[in-house]
Amino acid sequence: MHTMAVIQRSVWALLLWPSLLTVSMPLDCKEEQGSLSGCTSISQEKLLDRVIHHAELIYRVSEESCSLFEEMFLPLPLRLQISQAGYTCITKALPLPSSKSEIQQISDKWLLHSVLMLVQSWIQPLVYLQTTMDRYDHAPDMLLNKTKWVSDKLISLEQGVVVLIKKMLDEGTLATTYSEQGLYQSDVQPEMLESVMRDYTLLSCFKKDAHKMETFLKLLKCRQTDKYNCP
């Protein structure tokens, strides 16, 4: 019964996947010369809406990827083992607000920079994730496609946030760019079981951080429209 349920979910996902791609609003800001002028002609309000929409889709697909990975590669006892092991997410060292009160108190500038830090911290780990999952036996194309899609859209999201920072804060460049290289090391190739557990941890952590990106951006939007009634 469990196998049949997985197959049914995969079939529905395959049917719905093209529609998910078509509803995504374009956010690619870079032009041929590598500049970000492609998004500068969009109004600040519309650009923020597109960035939020991108973040929503990235979070939704990350949830689907995590669930599919669990069903295909992680029996319940192994999930419990991972949960009890208490793995640390790679972005734990970032100076991000964690409690609701901290989030409410930080400035718009720090909200945007927090989103950018999270986005930039995950670009390389997601590239690694694509590489390691390609080595899995019987890895469904749907899971591989979702991982690649999220990785590509994360780069688009980074471009959009950079332009948004320039528009909203009048900042041409960032004083500090947080690189994922200092947060994540993947020089040693793990054994298969360790690889599965490590990849699942990456997916789970990314799902949490994708939700943070969406939350921060929606709070920013709320502050632009109804400053005194934001959650």
Confidence of residue 124 (pLDDT cuts 50, 70, 90): very high
Question: Rounded to an integer, what distance in angstroms lies between the CA atom of residue 212 and that of residue 98?
Answer: 9
More confident call, 185 vs 146: 146
Residue 22 has pLDDT above 50, yes or no: no
Give a yes or no: residue 3 inside a domain: no
Residue 129 domain-assigned (yes or no) = yes
pLDDT tens by residue, 66-96: 999 988 888 777 777 776 666 788 998 898 8
Distance, CA of 183 to CA of 126 (rounded, Å): 13
158 in a domain, yes or no? yes
pLDDT exceeding 90 applies to what percent of the chain?
36
Is residue 219 situated within a structural domain? yes
Residue 27 pLDDT: 61
**Number of domains the chain contains:** 1
Domain of 140 in residue numbering reads as: 43-81+107-173+192-230
* Residues 194-220, mean pLDDT to the nearest whole number: 92
Query: Does residue 218 lie within any of the structural domains?
Result: yes
Q: Which of 220, 219, 209, 221 is nearest to 98 (CA)?
A: 209
Higher confidence at residue 51 or residue 179?
A: 51
Buried b (16+ CB within 10 A) or exposed e, 20-57: eeeebeebebeeeeeeeebbeebeeeebbebbbbbbbb
CATH number at 73 reads 1.20.1250.10
Q: With respect to residue 54, please indicate whether it lies within any of the assigned structural domains.
A: yes
